[in-house]
A and B are shown apart, each in its own frame.
Chain A
Amino acid sequence: MKTNILRPLFDAGKLWQGSTKTAIEVTDTGFPELNQHFSGHGWPAHMLIEILTDDLLSAPMQCAFATWTKQQDARWIALANPPLSPCTERFMQEGIDPQKVDVLNVPDDQLAWCLEQLANTQSMRSLIAWENEPFTSTQLRRLQLACQRGHTQLFLVRSLKHQIQASPAPVRVTMQSLSNGFEITVFKQPGTNARPPLVIPSELHWITKAHPTRRKTSILQETAGLH
């Protein structure tokens, strides 16, 4: 009886049980093995996703790129307070239109407000933000609600030390870079329990095999100039 009353909330993905299939909208992670680790087979599309890591540059952006390239539409994506300047040509090589990308650099004390505005907007598809000053639980809750209202996906990159703290974010993962890739552990997600760590190997095939543009001059210079 109680379940029937709560059914609309379950169906809308606003409430879930420990081991039930959720009907929430997801985006392909870009890694088939990682998709299997999520109850919905992908990153939840309208939720706050906490990425807890000490590797600010590599793994979070690889995950974001992988899912952005898999699912594109007319809406925008954004990077808030990125640690370095993103490369436009890489966006284009990944098939992402740079004109649909916003890069924001805002003061730390304005970041939560700024993210709420972005997440609240229906024109925003997905965003990734790097937190410098820790957000309060209320701020995180507001961000989650903004994601639901605006149908926006927000990857929030936070320090690994926040793992032991409770958070209103429905999805929480840890990432650690390894020599052969990175390890990801989904320890909180809607509809299922924590999952064991998963290693996503680095895709280095494009380095090892000769690039089509590799010209004779390159080889000549390599032999002549460097050795």
Chain B
Amino acid sequence: MVIYAYLTFPDLLLDAQGISHHDECIAIHHQGQIMQCSEKSILAGVMPGMTLSMALTLCPKLLAQTYQPDAERRLLHRLALWAYQYSHQVAIWKKGLCIEVSKSKFLFGDLSALTQTLKQASVSHHFRIHLAFGYSPEMAALFVKEGLRPKEHAFEKTVSRLSIDVADIPAEQIKRLKNMGFRTIGDYFSAPSRARQARIHQNTFLYFNAVAGRHQTPLTWFTPPPVFHQSLEFLRGLESVDMLRFPIHRLTQDASHWLKQRLCTTSHMRWEITLEDQQIEHLHIVLNSPVNAASALADPTWIRLEQLQPRSPMTGICLHIQQVHQSSPPKQDLFVKAHDTDRDQLIDRLTARLGSECIKTPCRQQDPRPEYANQLNTRATVYPLPHLPPRPIWLLHPPEALGASPENAGHRLLQGPERIESGWWDFEPTCRRYWIGLFQQRRISWIYQDQHSKSWWLAGWFS
């Protein structure tokens, strides 16, 4: 039979605010009523269901936040994305997650091993979960509500022992069932099916069938979004860029999960930092090569952000990834070296801090003129080297004028000349004779005489 896991998040509304609520008295309210409150505020006497004015009377320093359905929805999507790594069938259902785990239990072991895996993962992601398994989402939800987690062989027996009061149906329906003499769910199913169907509201009938695993509720399965767009809001404006370290870590972790689940990589990230004065700082980061590791996404971001000087406190940060590339999983090849990948990350870090022009590669173009043939570019283009006389270690750009005679400038001609006549096609014709010279009895120079002007120039140094 199909087995479902149902996960609820006791701190869902608090977590959706994107703030640490463990050491603060915080409550979420809607229409004057407390919906959820932090542990510290519970110690101060605040309870869910209480009016806001009562809560503020009990705890004057209570930080009351308005319920934000959008933030709650965004967090549920984020959690669904997290759960997607355990099963390809995840649904957002009744402010929780419903996961089809029939096949996952073979991957992770039995249901208790899967429970441990989910619990440990939730702890590492800093959110609390309650979970249970059942033959249907309704059965699992009832177990979560009652704090039960029976083994697979005891699902039906445990359900039949549950009181009819715990059913997730309207109160008048429960009253009606009780008046019929049903005290437990087992009592309900002991009655003939035809009699129940005739006397009970259809929705209630279908609900109990779903609880017993005899009726499948249609679920809308979650699919990872085609673009990554996730944001975090801060309760209090952050004044220092250093304080963004944790939010960036969290967003890049989620982006990395999203990319890995889609077997994708990216080389473009767009960050938006919202300031208190409603201005938005845009940061567009282009990576040297597509990546999907969290550290490879976070490092260049952090280096670029260190240079940012926000004009006012920051109230939110958003990461947007649109351009992705398909990637294949890394091959476990004995001969693949670790340094093949760390070079890309090195270039990303250097260019993020120093700009894309800071690192160049010597290139050789197909041009006889040395200043055109030897260039530094961001992309390496190296044409084969023809048989040339020795070239110097260093080149001077532009060449240094020596006047009418090299001897007067301290250069004694040793070997040459090498005649270079070229450039007629681009209107920069060159007609030179290159010589190797000795400068002040110590250093070997590379000089040339321009055949048009007859002047001498220092082009480079051998040593």
List A residues at the B interface (Cβ < 8 Å).
57-59, 61-62, 65, 74-76, 82-93, 97-99, 101-107, 110, 113-114, 117-118, 121-124, 177-179, 202, 204, 206-208, 211-213, 217-218, 221-222, 225-226
**Contact: B346 with A104, CB < 8 Å?**
no
Stretch at the interface among B13-21, B259-267, B354-362: B354-362
**Are B389 and A98 neighbours in the complex by a CB distance under 8 Å?**
no
A-B contact pairs, 6 of them (CB 8 A): A88-B364, A89-B388, A93-B385, A121-B339, A177-B443, A204-B444
B395 to chain A, nearest CB (A): 5
B349 contacts A by Cβ under 8 Å: yes
Residues of A within 8 A of B413 (CB): 226
Taking a contact as CB atoms closer than 8 A, the residue among B342, B390, B397 that contacts A85 in the complex is: B397
**A-chain residues with CB within 8 Å of residue B370 when the two chains form the complex:** 87, 89
Residue B44 is within 8 A (CB to CB) of chain A in the complex: no
Query: How far apart sit A88 and B377, CA to CA, in the bound complex (Å)?
Result: 11
Interface residues of B (CB under 8 A from A): 337-340, 342-343, 345-346, 349-350, 353-354, 358-364, 370, 373-376, 380, 382, 385, 387-397, 413-419, 433, 436, 441-444, 460-461, 463
Contact at A218–B394, with CB atoms within 8 Å?
A: no
Interface pair B391/A89, CB less than 8 Å apart: yes
A219 to chain B, nearest CB (A): 10
A-B pairs with the 7 shortest C-beta distances?
Answer: A123-B339, A123-B343, A84-B394, A88-B362, A122-B339, A98-B362, A89-B391
Cβ 8 A contact of B362, one of A91, A105, A107:
A91
B349 near A117 (CB under 8 angstroms)?
A: yes
Closest chain-A Cβ to B335's Cβ sits at a distance in Å of: 11
B415 to A102, Cβ gap below 8 A? no
Cβ B395 vs Cβ A86 within 8 A: yes
Q: Which residue of B is nearest A88, CB measured?
A: B362
Indicate if the CB atoms of A65 and B361 lie closer than 8 Å.
Answer: no
Task: Name the residue on B nearest A90 (C-beta).
Answer: B391
In the complex, chain A residues whose CB is within 8 Å of the CB of B395: 84-87
B352 to A: closest C-beta gap in Å: 11
Which residues of B lie under 8 Å from residue A83 when comparing CB positions?
394
A212–B389 alpha-carbon span in the complex (Å): 8
Closest chain B residue to A212, Cβ basis:
B387
How many whole Å from B450's CB to the nearest CB in chain A? 13
Beta-carbon contact of A98 and B391 below 8 Å: no
Tell me which residues across on chain A come within 8 A of B444, comparing CB atoms: 202, 204, 207
CA distance A12 to B354 in the complex (A): 35
Residues of A within 8 A of B463 (CB): 57-59, 61-62, 202
- Known contacts A88-B363, A98-B362, then 14 further A-B pairs from the complex at CB < 8 Å, ordered by chain A residue: A58-B461, A84-B395, A84-B396, A87-B395, A87-B460, A90-B391, A92-B382, A93-B390, A98-B361, A99-B382, A103-B360, A104-B350, A202-B463, A211-B415
B343 with A105: CB separation less than 8 A? no
Q: Which of B338, B387, B393 contacts A65 (CB 8 A)?
A: B393
Write out the residue numbers on chain B whose beta carbons fall within 8 Å of the beta carbon of A222.
416-417
Q: Roughly how many angstroms separate A202 CA and B361 CA in the complex, as a whole number?
A: 28
The smallest C-beta distance from B433 to any residue of chain A, in angstroms, reads 7
Known: A85-B394, A87-B460, A122-B342. A98 touches B418 (CB 8 A): no
CA–CA, A92 and B382, complex, Å: 10
Residues of A within 8 A of B388 (CB): 89, 93, 213
Of the candidates B392, B415, B442, which one forms a contact with A87 in the assembled complex, judged by CB atoms under 8 Å apart? B392
With A58-B461, A122-B339: A90-B392 Cβ-Cβ less than 8 Å = yes
